[in-house]
Structure 1
């Protein structure tokens, strides 16, 4: 069962309730562009996951079948409880090393780039974590945890983490001695020095208390969310590539071949001495911290939100139907999704070429839909083609009106 797919409506219901709580309490924990960027990263991650999750599943199943020490039965309740707790232990080390090693941080940093903290941040997931992430769960296979049990507890662990991404829930007393809570997870998303690289558990905070990585949220130290190397972009593709590009650039500049190789696996923040001397990096003063922002007219924001809703719907459809599709169909779907989300990011950044890219995106939807129909991914009737035509015309008219209004605007 795909638990994440069934949870999607509840995710968006809770986001809507959090927005109401924002209004009721006079808080502002959401910005449209930031939320769309976080959700775009999530949509991209789940779409690409249709292709990449097979890596982890195949390696896990192979290890379980060939090297499993015990034969644990999914019929026993204690196996499920054991697997749930042990998964979180493995997750702790996956998560911790994701902060402590350069190449792992390059994948995980996507989740931390938002400078807001709300339920949309929970859905901001990496598209490259599959490269190394599967390694950390092999101990479960070696101990004989069946793949069905593994996949189920992994989904439950992920679903649990959704609710802790909020600023509206205060400290929870005794609960925080055992479980991850919104308060101690806010600490995890901070870039304050006192908070950085703390509270790694997914469900249980016990691992952090046991291994010395726990930090309580302090009243005298308000959390500043984000990363010390800001993304400064609403582009979900760049969000996934940013830190890889930083490492690649430093590796290319390094004079030593050894430094070029080891930089990827050194502790996060480590740089070759010659590179650090020639290209010093300064850390931002948090007392002067300003969130990334691109001014955008209300009509442009509404247009982006409407277009993004369609990608959420498409992503949900792919999540529900992608498992039965060929690799070629999934590759095409991922390319279509990635391009559309890239264009949406350019639109939110108000780039000069955003209008042309958006027009191209609208024109490409018809051939993309035809290919989806030919592949059997999405049966289309005459009504479906009519709806696409109506949507394209409405979007085109909106583009023309917004471009005219922008051209006629009097500079302030």
Structure 2
């Protein structure tokens, strides 16, 4: 996936340029939160057991194929490759549908649907928990398909799905009878009652058509969760549903209902169908996203967050490239932890939390002190930005809270 990342970034850039001309309601907050959530997801993958699980997933698939495969054929067999493509896609459909229809699995997917805008950058809103689930069906598939074939189709499936999030692609005619398209995926991300829990497909839409989960896009789509998160903090985006599940568990009066609250749909409650009452979901209205997304902050704060977000992203790429293969390197853990804390603080600034300024000032001063003996030209440049930013933060600490809102 690293090989295609530059192309992803290029298309994200092109879409954002188009937004400047065609998007009526730009939201820097929402875009920042998508980037930040992606950084947090990757950081937790590396700091926790995500990398180990990924290695276990691949090693387990290799072990199955090398020792217990049910079929023996050349790894470049065209028919086997086509069947593998179909199996990966139906496995994705089943996994995707389960994450929507089982509350405890929704915990590992709700992040992806939390964006109020539908765009390519929203792809970055991924859960760090996904890798803890996919091995359960990928390893058994090693009984039939060689690992190189299986993981090729898995990566190809993921790359294809990136482009499903392009909002500027219209309906594509007969192609949509078989293949999943941006139009079909817009439906999947929409919170319109008629679109809830529909169009789960990855590359193919035929599974939805066969299994009764297909809906055509025939009315304007409104995006985001039915109950918005109301936060730009990527940590809260990742974990808020744990708190929601806890509250729902606590509200139940019997043990049966408590466990049903985990194993049935997120919208379930005692007396309702398994997935809840669709009729209880409010109909969205045009312009309501302005009440669901925090109002914009002052331009100076927008610029500040963008600059420091770029610095954090650069740090993540540098240390992933330089240290990711060295699992014992403590510098990796330290820098990733620092990047994670940095991006979380920036999210809190977007949430207009007054305490975030003091924490951000401490972060800046720590970075200056930590790099003080480093004489590299790039480090010196970044350190000068941190020094200037410290002065800016001091002025923000001294301002009244309402000053952080955009001025009319």
Q: TM-score range by the shorter chain?
A: 0.7 to 0.9
Q: Tell me, yes or no, if the aligned pair for 1:107 and 1:128 is still in contact at 8 Å.
A: yes
The DSSP-based 3-state class of the residue aligned with 1:142 is coil
1:18 is aligned to 2:12: no
Instruction: Give the structure 1 partner of residue 246 of structure 2.
Output: 248
2-side partners of 1:99 and 1:390: how far apart?
Answer: 47
Over 3 Å counting, the alpha-carbon distance change for 1:132 and 1:407 in structure 2 is: closer
Q: Tell me, yes or no, if the aligned pair for 2:354 and 2:397 is still in contact at 8 Å.
A: no
1:347 is aligned to 2:349: yes
Deviations for 1:240-282, whole angstroms, at most 9, x for unmatched residues? 1111211112223433334334432223322357xxxxxxxx7
Using the TM superposition, give the Cα deviation of residue 172 of structure 1 relative to its aligned residue in structure 2, in angstroms.
0.4
Q: How does 1:7-406 map to 2 (within 5 A)?
A: 7-24=4-21, 26-28=22-24, 30-50=26-46, 51-62=49-60, 64-66=62-64, 67-71=68-72, 73-146=74-147, 148-218=148-218, 221-271=219-269, 283-287=281-285, 289=288, 290-326=291-327, 329=330, 330-365=332-367, 382-403=376-397
Over 3 Å counting, the alpha-carbon distance change for 1:57 and 1:233 in structure 2 is: same
Q: Tell me, yes or no, if the aligned pair for 2:61 and 2:138 is still in contact at 8 Å.
A: no
1-side partners of 2:159 and 2:180: how far apart?
Answer: 13
The DSSP-based 3-state class of the residue aligned with 1:335 is helix
Q: TM-score, normalised by structure 2?
A: 0.86
Comparing 127-136 and 92-101, the one that deviates more: 127-136
Using the TM superposition, give the Cα deviation of residue 291 of structure 1 relative to its aligned residue in structure 2, in angstroms.
2.7
Over 3 Å counting, the alpha-carbon distance change for 1:77 and 1:361 in structure 2 is: farther
Using the TM superposition, give the Cα deviation of residue 60 of structure 1 relative to its aligned residue in structure 2, in angstroms.
4.8
The DSSP-based 3-state class of the residue aligned with 2:109 is helix
Deviations for 1:17-62, whole angstroms, at most 9, x for unmatched residues? 11222334x3336411100101111122223333404314414532
2-side partners of 1:272 and 1:325: how far apart?
Answer: 50
Q: Tell me, yes or no, if the aligned pair for 2:60 and 2:139 is still in contact at 8 Å.
A: no
Over 3 Å counting, the alpha-carbon distance change for 1:322 and 1:86 in structure 2 is: farther
Q: TM-score, normalised by structure 1?
A: 0.85
Over 3 Å counting, the alpha-carbon distance change for 1:128 and 1:73 in structure 2 is: same
Alignment length, in residue pairs?
A: 390
2-side partners of 1:44 and 1:142: how far apart?
Answer: 34
Over 3 Å counting, the alpha-carbon distance change for 1:303 and 1:128 in structure 2 is: same
Gapped runs of 5+ residues in structure 1? 274-281, 374-379
Deviations for 1:201-223, whole angstroms, at most 9, x for unmatched residues? 111112111211111100xx211
Over 3 Å counting, the alpha-carbon distance change for 1:149 and 1:397 in structure 2 is: farther
Over 3 Å counting, the alpha-carbon distance change for 1:81 and 1:368 in structure 2 is: farther
Q: Tell me, yes or no, if the aligned pair for 1:47 and 1:318 is still in contact at 8 Å.
A: no
Comparing 109-118 and 254-263, the one that deviates more: 254-263
Deviations for 1:331-350, whole angstroms, at most 9, x for unmatched residues? 43442232111101101111
Gapped runs of 5+ residues in structure 2? 272-279
Q: Tell me, yes or no, if the aligned pair for 2:357 and 2:396 is still in contact at 8 Å.
A: no
Using the TM superposition, give the Cα deviation of residue 362 of structure 1 relative to its aligned residue in structure 2, in angstroms.
1.6
Using the TM superposition, give the Cα deviation of residue 113 of structure 1 relative to its aligned residue in structure 2, in angstroms.
0.7
1-side partners of 2:7 and 2:127: how far apart?
Answer: 21
Comparing 392-401 and 158-167, the one that deviates more: 392-401
Using the TM superposition, give the Cα deviation of residue 190 of structure 1 relative to its aligned residue in structure 2, in angstroms.
0.4
Over 3 Å counting, the alpha-carbon distance change for 1:12 and 1:359 in structure 2 is: same
Using the TM superposition, give the Cα deviation of residue 233 of structure 1 relative to its aligned residue in structure 2, in angstroms.
0.5
Q: Alignment RMSD, CA only? A: 2.9
2-side partners of 1:298 and 1:90: how far apart?
Answer: 45
Using the TM superposition, give the Cα deviation of residue 78 of structure 1 relative to its aligned residue in structure 2, in angstroms.
4.1
Comparing 28-37 and 312-321, the one that deviates more: 312-321
Using the TM superposition, give the Cα deviation of residue 403 of structure 1 relative to its aligned residue in structure 2, in angstroms.
4.9
Over 3 Å counting, the alpha-carbon distance change for 1:57 and 1:77 in structure 2 is: farther
Over 3 Å counting, the alpha-carbon distance change for 1:199 and 1:240 in structure 2 is: same
Q: Tell me, yes or no, if the aligned pair for 2:365 and 2:387 is still in contact at 8 Å.
A: no
1-side partners of 2:120 and 2:104: how far apart?
Answer: 27
1-side partners of 2:135 and 2:326: how far apart?
Answer: 23
